[in-house]
């Protein structure tokens, strides 16, 4: 490819992310940066969406630093991807930090927490994060999805 744009890099990164190959996606992202192509918020969201439990917190932190450097740290789509990635890498503290810094939150934000490994963090912690609805924009249908994710755990703890 003679012309490499953020769009072409993002499409390639997205292909690896969607096919459960996060290390290849991160490798392409590093190549994109070496070529001097600046990623945009879509690149970050797609790169992070491919993260799974095999991606280390260090990898997510490096991407997070670049996100802050480029000023995308208040973009809802990027923040949601960061929260989800930190949850998948089993770091609720960093996920909570991103959540607290977000100027706006939606149901996607809280769904990342409700899918978190509940063996590591108690239900009360998960419920308090989901209940913190300040600056949350969601409709009833989306709220039902959050409830559906929390309901089995609430029933187990006798709160439903």
* Same domain as 69, residue 138: no
- Domain count for the chain: 2
Mean pLDDT throughout 17-46?
Answer: 94
* Same domain as 68, residue 39: yes
Domain that residue 114 falls in: 104-160
pLDDT in tens, 94-143: 988 998 899 888 878 877 776 665 555 555 555 565 555 454 555 545 55
- Amino acid 109: pLDDT: 81
Token pair for residue 114? 């409700």
pLDDT in tens, 47-96: 998 888 778 889 899 999 999 999 999 999 999 999 999 988 888 889 88
pTM of the model: 0.76
- Amino acid 135: pLDDT: 47
Residue 30 has pLDDT above 60, yes or no: yes
* Same domain as 13, residue 30: yes
Residue 158 has pLDDT above 70, yes or no: no
Rounded to the nearest angstrom, the gap between the alpha carbon of residue 50 and the centroid of all alpha carbons in its chain is: 9
* Same domain as 68, residue 18: yes
- From residue 82, give the alpha-carbon distance in Å to each of 10, 113, 157: 17, 12, 29
* Same domain as 118, residue 91: no
- Amino acid 76: pLDDT: 94
H or E element at residue 105: strand 105-106
């Amino acid at each position: 490819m003679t012309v490499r744009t953020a769009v072409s890099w993002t499409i390639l990164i997205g292909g690896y992310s969607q096919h459960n190959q996060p290390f290849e996606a991160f490798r392409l992202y590093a190549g994109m940066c070496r070529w001097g192509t600046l990623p945009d918020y879509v690149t970050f969201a797609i790169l992070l969406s491919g993260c799974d439990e095999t991606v280390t917190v260090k990898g997510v932190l490096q991407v997070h630093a670049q996100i802050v450097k480029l000023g995308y740290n208040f973009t809802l789509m990027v923040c949601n991807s960061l929260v989800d990635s930190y949850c998948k890498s089993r770091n609720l503290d960093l996920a909570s930090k991103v959540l607290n810094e977000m100027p706006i939150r939606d149901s996607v934000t809280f769904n990342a927490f409700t899918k978190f490994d509940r063996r590591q963090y108690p239900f009360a912690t998960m419920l308090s994060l989901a209940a913190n609805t300040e600056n949350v924009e969601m409709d009833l249908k989306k709220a039902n999805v959050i409830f559906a994710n929390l309901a089995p755990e609430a029933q187990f703890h006798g709160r439903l």
